[in-house]
Chain A
Amino acid sequence: MRWIRRNVVVVAGLLTLAYMILPNLVVMVFSFNKPKGRFNYAWQTFSLDAWKDPCGVADLCGALTLSFQIAVWATIGATVLGTMIAFALVRYRFRARGAINSLIFLPMAMPEVVMAASLLTLFLNMGAELGFWTVLIAHIMFCLSFVVTAVKARVMSMDPKLEEAARDLYAGPVQTFVRVTLPIAAPGIAAGALLAFALSFDDFIITNFNAGSSVTFPMFVWGSAQRGTPVQINVIGTAMFAVAVLMVIGGQLVSNRRKKAATP
Chain B
Amino acid sequence: MTATAAPPAPPTPPVTDAAVRKVPRRKRLVPYWLLLPGILWLLVFFALPMVYQASTSVQTGSLEKGFEVTWHFQTYWDALQEYYPQFVRSLLYAGTATVLCLLLGYPLAYLIAFKAGRWRNLLLVLVIAPFFTSFLIRTLAWKTILADDGAVVGALDALRVLDVTSWLGWTADDRVLATPMAVVCGLTYNFLPFMILPLYTSLERIDGRLHEAAGDLYARPATTFRKVTVPLSMPGIVSGTLLTFIPASGDYVNAELLGSTDTKMVGSVIQSQFLRVLDYPTAAALSFILMAVVLVVVTVYIRRSGTEDLV
A residues sitting closer than 8 Å to B (CB atoms) are 2, 5-6, 8-10, 12-14, 16-17, 19-24, 26-27, 30, 41-42, 81-82, 84-85, 87-89, 91-94, 100, 103-107, 109-115, 117-122, 124-125, 137-138, 140-141, 144, 148-149, 160, 198, 201-202, 204-205, 208-209, 217-218, 221-222, 225, 229, 233-234, 236-238, 240-241, 243-245, 248-249, 252
Question: Least Cβ distance of A15 to chain B in Å?
Answer: 8
Q: Quick one: given A41-B144, A114-B287, are A233 and B270 in contact (CB under 8 Å)?
A: no
Question: Chain B 279-311, CB within 8 Å of chain A: the 1/0 string?
Answer: 010011001101100110010000000000011
Q: Judging by beta carbons under 8 Å apart, are B257 and A92 in contact?
A: no
CA distance A16 to B104 in the complex (A): 6
Q: Judging by beta carbons under 8 Å apart, are A114 and B290 in contact?
A: yes
Q: Judging by beta carbons under 8 Å apart, are B53 and A42 in contact?
A: no
Residues of B within 8 A of A89 (CB): 35
Q: Quick one: given A111-B250, A122-B49, are A88 and B132 in contact (CB under 8 Å)?
A: no
CA distance A21 to B133 in the complex (A): 11
Q: Judging by beta carbons under 8 Å apart, are A13 and B30 in contact?
A: no
Q: Quick one: given A16-B104, A233-B137, A248-B129, are A204 and B111 in contact (CB under 8 Å)?
A: no
CA distance A113 to B266 in the complex (A): 9
Q: Judging by beta carbons under 8 Å apart, are B107 and A13 in contact?
A: yes
Residues of B within 8 A of A30 (CB): 141, 144
What residue of chain A has the Cβ atom nearest to residue B32's Cβ? Answer: A94
Residues of B within 8 A of A9 (CB): 107, 110-111, 115
B residues sitting closer than 8 Å to A (CB atoms) are 16-19, 30-32, 34-35, 37-39, 41-43, 45-50, 52-53, 56, 104-105, 107-112, 115, 121, 123, 125-145, 147, 189, 192-193, 196, 221-222, 242, 246-247, 249-253, 257, 266-267, 270-271, 274-275, 280, 283-284, 287-288, 290-291, 294-295, 298, 310-311
CA distance A23 to B283 in the complex (A): 33
Question: Least Cβ distance of B25 to chain A in Å?
Answer: 13
Residues of A within 8 A of B50 (CB): 118
Residues of A within 8 A of B280 (CB): 121, 124
What residue of chain A has the Cβ atom nearest to residue B38's Cβ? Answer: A81
